[in-house]
Amino acid sequence: MASRLPGASRPFRSKFKLPNHNLLRWFPGHMHKGLEQIQARLKDVDCIIEVHDARIPFSGRDTQFRTLFQLRPHVLLLNKVDLVDKVKLKQLQVEQKLKEQGVDTVFFTDLRNFEKSQLLKEKILPTVTELTDSRPRYNREGLNEYNAMVIGVPNVGKSTLINAVRWANIKRKGRAASVGAKAGVTRSVSSKIKVNNNPPLYIVDTPGILTPNIPDIENGMRLALCSCVPDHLVGVENLVDYLLFWMNKRGYFSYVDFFGIDDPTDSVMILLTKIAMKQNKMLKVRDQSTNQFVVRPNLDAAASLVLKAFRTGQLGHFVLDDDL
């Protein structure tokens, strides 16, 4: 949990303002095409496995998905749980709220360390087959194989899940699905990938899909903080500004000690300038008024340091959706 400073009682912003709301509009062509492909493949799908970021258990989860998949079992994996305040998850009754929204089963996972866990083999896959057998399979009734479709917003671990479950059950090395640190690596619905022999279980990978419009600024910024939207579209300084707002509002000041600055601040420019100078992140630029080169703080480099510290858990473990 992030540290608090008892003396930091100064007034901070109560509302976050984004300079340009259009920064959060990102629905590239492959997402529209992917949604159409998903709908076309549904008749051959027995179960839906949704992967989402545990730091934002509610933000970004599209209600359109719930309508599409309501006739099929729905398993939700809240991934990257190693970066989450688990006490806060329980306090917020996250699992109960998600089940009230139509999710059959919720698992908390850290798919990057799948070799150390038997969760995939002993819990998740048996749950998929059990839920499938408990409901009508319509045109797939009587088949001895199972097809699951993996869905979710970009960069939450869908492809990592497929590679992990394939390794855990049939010991296939190499990647069956492409994995990357940026949103939008998977561009289209894949062919079936076999991940289990007995019973035969296949998984279909899909591109990360967001809603065409993200009407709520905080919802969108939380998605972007968790890398579900490419950083360059929102701007790293804007992302750090929202993180600063979110932490200050809750009294979390771990950034002060971590980056070695004097006091909490409500100004992202002050924060990034101090960090750039502390970390010697400087730029040599030409001054337009004097035509001379001057050295200035590299604010983008400082912002990247802050985002990395947040995304790796160095600033603390959080549940960003603590007010939903």
CB within 8 A of 123, min separation 6: which ones?
107
C-alpha dist (Å) from residue 72 to 16, 79, 240: 38, 21, 39
Distance CA 225, CA 230 (A): 9
The verdict on whether residue 208 carries a ligand-binding annotation is yes
Is the peptide bond prior to 199 cis by the omega test (within 30 degrees of 0)? yes
Query: How many CA atoms does the CB half-sphere of 167 hold within 13 Å?
Result: 20
Distance CA 82, CA 79 (A): 8
CB 285 within 8 A of CB 300: no
The verdict on whether residue 165 carries a ligand-binding annotation is no
The verdict on whether residue 159 carries a ligand-binding annotation is yes
Of 234, 155, 206, 203, give the one whose Cα is nearest residue 31.
Answer: 206
CB 107 within 8 A of CB 75: yes
Please report which helix (H) or strand (E) contains residue 196, including its range. strand 193-196
The verdict on whether residue 238 carries a ligand-binding annotation is no
The verdict on whether residue 160 carries a ligand-binding annotation is yes
CB 118 within 8 A of CB 130: no
The verdict on whether residue 249 carries a ligand-binding annotation is no
Residue 306 burial (CB < 10 Å; 0-12/13-18/19+)?
buried
The verdict on whether residue 234 carries a ligand-binding annotation is no
Binding site: what residues are annotated?
79-82, 155-160, 208
Annotated binding site for GTP: 79-82, 155-160, 208
